[in-house]
Structure 1
Amino acid sequence: MTKKVEKTSRRKFLLAAGAAGAATVAMPQVSRAQTTTLKYQSTWPTKDIFHEMAVDYANKVNQMTGGRLKMDVLAAGSVVPAFQLQDAVNTGVLDAGHGVCAYWYGKHKAFSLFGTPPSFGWDAHSFLAWYYYGGGEALYNELVGNILKLNVVGFLYYPMPTQPLGWFKKPVTGPNDLKNIKYRTVGLSADLFKEMGAAVTILPGGEIVPALDRGLLDAAEFNNPSSDILLGFTDVAKNFMLQSHHQQAESFEIIFNKGKYDALPAEVKAIIRNAAFAATADQFAWAAHDRYSKDLIEIKKRGVNVAKTPDSVLEAQLQAWDKVLAEQSKEPFFKKVIDSQKDWVKRTAMYMQENNVDTKPAYKHFFG
């Protein structure tokens, strides 16, 4: 009788323990760690699609960390003006920021090579591949940490489509139409257009349309149909020239104050990095494909003359790049980056061009 009671009691204990274990597995794992909040500002006005993309990256990080990290998003000018973002992150006034490397071109011209490199015959996908697998990230870290000694950690993401030549009061019919015009651009593109005879002004995105409206600019480029329509370009210029070699490949840069970043747990750092890869794929789908194409159609509906940049201008740009690179490559680190990029493009673009079929005949076959 005693043995039967012992067996029954043991069976009940095991069943109870199993039920408790199953309940534990079924319960969601909730982090008990305290939430770390980062003050994170973009270089974009609230109404720009680029600010939406800065928010999208923050949302991905916030969700993936399960609330352990919160990136508190602010628009350009909330704490500092757009062109002061890097300084603010470096000093800890901001914890993180979202922008493009070309904005720091005034500190070292090689910065532009990590955001708007020359048009070597690659695209932004190939550029990001070089950055992560062709030695670019090590060169970026050398520039940031060793040469400029910035207290910053950075990641590049989102392969931007080729940027249009821009918005003009009159159509561009040849290279001479660019001479002596007051033109807005950023980064090494400024050197390129100066070489082509333009009077270049460097402005952040939110200041371009007011400058065009007041006659302080004759023409300007920013980035894409969605940004341009949201910022109001269609109200101040009626000629939109597509295709250009001035910024044929570009990406976003996300930067973090190094002290704040280093204090984060390893798994959170991994999420910050991998969220950039997730945002690269996601934003290229919903922004570059879906939104940009819809907004180009809308631009045409608003009475804008949308035209392809003449081949003579594109050829003149490549010739101008030769002169800009020859001059800037006198600086050793600039040349080091250029040589690395050329080695990458010479090998990888050869494969892409020999392997990939021209898509235009198929498009024409099915859509006319």
Structure 2
Amino acid sequence: MTETADTNTVAGTPADADSSKPAASRRSFLAGAAAGGAVAAVSMPNVARAQTVNLRFQSTWPNRDIFHEFAQDYVKTVNNLSGGRLKLDLLPAGAVVGALQLQDAIISGALDGGHGVAGYWYGKHKAFSLFATPPAYGWNANQMLGWIRYGGGQALYDELVRDVLKLNLVGFLMAPMPTQPLGWFKKEIATAEDMRNLKYRTNGLAADMYQEMGAAVTIMGAADIVPAMDRGLLDGAEFNNPSSDRTLGFPDVSKVYMVQSYHQCSECFEVIYNKNKYDNLGPELQQILKFAADAASADMMWKAMSRYPKDLQAMKERGVKAVKTPPAVLQAQLDAWTKVVDKLSADPFFKKVVDSQKAWTKEVVGFEMEWEVPREQAFKHFFG
């Protein structure tokens, strides 16, 4: 401040200044300006660092999984948009807690936020899975996110978290995923009867659906699946996509990859924050967390388009056989979904969400089926 005051005195001296020393005055001004600039250059970064809010943010995914990479993409978007005022420090699953303990750790404040899927919390209320792995109404995951944004889905999610369960959380749904495979097996699944008594890993409402089909379902985090198959604790399992499945090591324990399924044909990610921490950020940083989710959603879809086909082909070259799930098995899944939805709709809130989803799907998918030209005919025309 002294330099600034001296500079103002020299530069601002009016008629009584000694006009015979203009060079000296200019030198004094420039020296003062340089000094003031140096102070600013030193002090401003210190101010910025002092104002940075750091949040501990853990994913539910192993460090090497593409899902953890997707979490990193979201984190980078938040950090870049905030201009240094907010910094998410990303940790992989297990760094603080296991994948299935993430929500409790955030509620308690052991973590500030995290990246996962809402279906992991369906043990607290099965409606959680309706915001992650809902029934197969004929919609895809992007259409499900349309329901979240414009069909009342976010308000229902907030009602579940805030009013029904009274959790100290704020969450956003993001990043639509392609249809998931039926999974990895020791032998091909030819009929619905082949699923009966099968020791099988899945998560969320898909567990209820497969139990309705007679499977013996186990729920576990991503890192535990392949070791469990290797030890014979599982006869079959699904995780999500070719890139994740390849990285997790499924081709080392199975060569039969059943693709296409109705158990999780519309899934999305979830980012959650401790509500106290979130409320203290203020409106601007809160909006950054929200809009970063939308930006990361788009980028994730495009990245998946690039990576998934390449990883599927790489696994085929290692001897993996990709087999389409037979129509009879798909129909058995739909029949099982009907029973699960009817049974769980005895809960008023669950039914409220299902009714909202069905109304949206009937309108949106109905329009798509009427409006969009069939892609299969054009694809076969050009590629055979």
Please confirm whether the aligned pair reaches a TM-score higher than 0.5, indicating the same fold.
yes
The offset of 1:267, in angstroms, is: 1.4
Cα distance in 1, alignment partners of residues 287 and 343 from structure 2: 39
Q: Which ranges of structure 1 fall in alignment gaps of 5 or more residues?
A: none
Partner of 1:328: 344
The offset of 1:133, in angstroms, is: 0.7
The offset of 1:360, in angstroms, is: 1.0
Identity of aligned residues (%): 59
The offset of 1:265, in angstroms, is: 2.6
RMSD, aligned α-carbons: 1.9
Amino acid across the alignment from 1:357: V
Q: Which ranges of structure 2 fall in alignment gaps of 5 or more residues?
A: 1-13, 23-28
Cα distance in 2, alignment partners of residues 176 and 258 from structure 1: 46
Partner of 1:294: 310
| SS in structure 2 at match of 1:186 | coil
> What per-residue deviation string (whole Å, max 9, x for no partner) do you get for residues 131-167 of structure 1?
1110111110111011111100000100100001000
1:342 corresponds to which of 358, 364, 368: 358
Cα distance in 2, alignment partners of residues 357 and 310 from structure 1: 25
Cα distance in 2, alignment partners of residues 346 and 56 from structure 1: 33
The offset of 1:81, in angstroms, is: 0.9
1:258 corresponds to which of 275, 293, 312: 275
Describe how 1:49-198 pairs up with structure 2 within 5 A.
49-198=66-215
Please say if 1:310 is aligned against 2:326.
Answer: yes
TM-score, normalising length: structure 2: 0.88
Partner of 2:260: 243
> What per-residue deviation string (whole Å, max 9, x for no partner) do you get for residues 256-301 of structure 1?
0001111113211111100000001001101x20011110111111
Amino acid across the alignment from 1:208: I
| SS in structure 2 at match of 1:159 | strand
Amino acid across the alignment from 1:248: C
- Report which stretch shifted further, 350-359 or 214-223: 350-359
> What per-residue deviation string (whole Å, max 9, x for no partner) do you get for residues 87-113 of structure 1?
000111100010000100100000000
Partner of 1:352: 368
The offset of 1:330, in angstroms, is: 0.5
The offset of 1:174, in angstroms, is: 1.2
> What per-residue deviation string (whole Å, max 9, x for no partner) do you get for residues 165-197 of structure 1?
000110111111111110000000001001111
> What per-residue deviation string (whole Å, max 9, x for no partner) do you get for residues 300-348 of structure 1?
1110110110000000100001110111001110000000000100111
Larger radius of gyration: 2
Amino acid across the alignment from 1:133: Y
Which 4+ residue blocks in structure 1 deviate beyond 6 angstroms?
27-31
> What per-residue deviation string (whole Å, max 9, x for no partner) do you get for residues 210-269 of structure 1?
000000000000000000000000000110011100001000000000011111132111
Cα distance in 2, alignment partners of residues 206 and 355 from structure 1: 42
Please say if 1:362 is aligned against 2:378.
Answer: yes
Amino acid across the alignment from 1:112: S
Amino acid across the alignment from 2:126: K
Partner of 1:231: 248
Cα distance in 2, alignment partners of residues 115 and 256 from structure 1: 17
Describe how 1:17-36 pairs up with structure 2 within 5 A.
32=48, 34-36=51-53
Cα distance in 1, alignment partners of residues 345 and 186 from structure 2: 35
Amino acid across the alignment from 1:82: A
Describe how 1:193-208 pairs up with structure 2 within 5 A.
193-208=210-225
| SS in structure 2 at match of 1:306 | strand
Cα distance in 1, alignment partners of residues 346 and 128 from structure 2: 15
Partner of 2:26: none
| SS in structure 2 at match of 1:122 | coil
Q: How many residues align?
A: 348
Cα distance in 2, alignment partners of residues 137 and 269 from structure 1: 16
1:217 corresponds to which of 194, 217, 234: 234
Cα distance in 2, alignment partners of residues 209 and 247 from structure 1: 20
The offset of 1:365, in angstroms, is: 1.3
Cα distance in 2, alignment partners of residues 252 and 66 from structure 1: 25
- Report which stretch shifted further, 338-347 or 262-271: 262-271
